[in-house]
Structure 1
Amino acid sequence: MTNASATAQTTLDDVAVLIPAYNGQADVNLTLASFQESALVHILIVDDGSTPPIVAPALPNLKIEVLRLAQNSGIERALQTGIDALAQRGFRYAARIDAGDRAVPQRLAKQRAYMELHPRVAGLGMWTQVVSRAGEPLFMLTPPAEPQAIRRQRFFRSCLAHPSMMLRIDAVRTVGNYRAAYRSAEDLDLFVRLMERYDCANLPELGLYYELNEGGISATKRRRQIGSTLRLQLRYFNPLNPYDWLGLAKNLLHLLLPYRTLQRVKQKLLAPRAGH
């Protein structure tokens, strides 16, 4: 066992889980209950003006703080506020997850150990199992692990599953934090800026159960998300990278196809086959 691994098993004092939440108390409770770590887990819930306010449940091995915003301002501001609050509290790492998603046991310890050994990595994701609201497995997201491949394919596929990410807080603030310039694509905007100065990587193992929610941002604000993604693609477009061309074509196709049609296509392409 390496020293970094041993340290990760005994302390997570410099890691905090960052959860933006707007209503959905039951989803918040489900997500919090999924964390199973050997050390105390620090949680910061940014309540984005929920009615009634989000309440921290009493759960073992979790230290939960709720930071309430006076009014609903959107996920971009909630995340920006959360990162700044964690920096003020002295945390080094922010582990993202969304209400309704579930963490795999020891996710935080594994990510922290990796980031301690790879100081150039500012954002670290994990493979993600996409599930229905009822918890049924739909398909797996298994993006590339290496920073170079992620950088090349950043606009072609979802290389970094936002709710699976662990982020270096100082790096996030150095590049300008989350921002509302590309609404509903605030994660991709941040990752692109991080990759201009640092690396982003993935641990090639399951770290998250992601709930496919037709009330979520990817469904309800889909056209805004695609529009923001296209603007990012055009701003950072590299004509020598074939994946940038493919990503541009893919997003234009997304504008034409209904959300449910795209999900059915993903399930057929990515669902596990018999015998595999």
Structure 2
Amino acid sequence: MQTARLPLISSAILAAGLLAGCASSPMPTWKGAADPGYAPVRPAQVEPAVTAVPAVAISTAPPTRAALVDAARAEWDFFGNQQIDMRHEPFSAPRLGLLEDEGEAVQRVAEYWHAVGRNYTGADCQQAWSAAFISWLMVSSNVAPQDFAPSETHFNYLSFLKQRESLPSPQFVLRPAASEPVAPGDLLCAPRGNNTATTLDEIQPGLAGHCDMVVEVHADEGWAGVIGGNVFNSVSESLIPVDAQGRALPISQRPWLAVVKNLLP
């Protein structure tokens, strides 16, 4: 396991939107706006059916906030605890982990894709799998499909949740990131690429974006930890700045838009 600190990651390089490579790259690189994997796509449920996709192993226990956090942490452990410090620019990577096309990670990423009905693996490096990762967390933790609609695109399931919260007993509700403190088990979401949404009303299917799961909040110290998939080609914990109330502070690569409040027990 690599433990040496990476060089600082230039903001100019991030802004250039370089394509992310596989593990053969000299260091993890950001999947930027130019990556076709982040272009708007149709919701997964309207794509032609994919055959021979293995079923996702689903917990038999009722879904809980703690179970989702534990699932995210377990995947982070599996990938070697890669950590990206976003509290200052340029970003740095204090700890490296397993990349998407290395060893056991190849099939682990395939498991995430199975949650959205796809037959990709971690070797399909140009296929952005961050939404598949979040969907896998929900599906494997036994969150009912009527409460969360798995999708390979974050803004597809955000659109579903926005509509679902007007119906009885929603398990997740959307709140503006600028005013809503985050807590472990919440999702924190931002637009990406050509997505210019700035309000919850502008959320619609097919827009490019990224969501992470909040796993720890230290408002008194000014930071929180969020775990996401496909962050520098791995399951990574990103350290992000928060204010004294625990509200996520926007940064250049993460202009936070929505907090998906987790109402599970």
Under TM normalisation by the shorter chain, which class is it?
A: under 0.3
With a CA cutoff of 8 Å and minimum separation of 6, indicate the structure with the bigger relative contact order: 2
Larger radius of gyration: 1
TM-score, length-scaled by structure 2: 0.26
| Structure (1 or 2) with the greater strand fraction | 1
TM-score, length-scaled by structure 1: 0.25
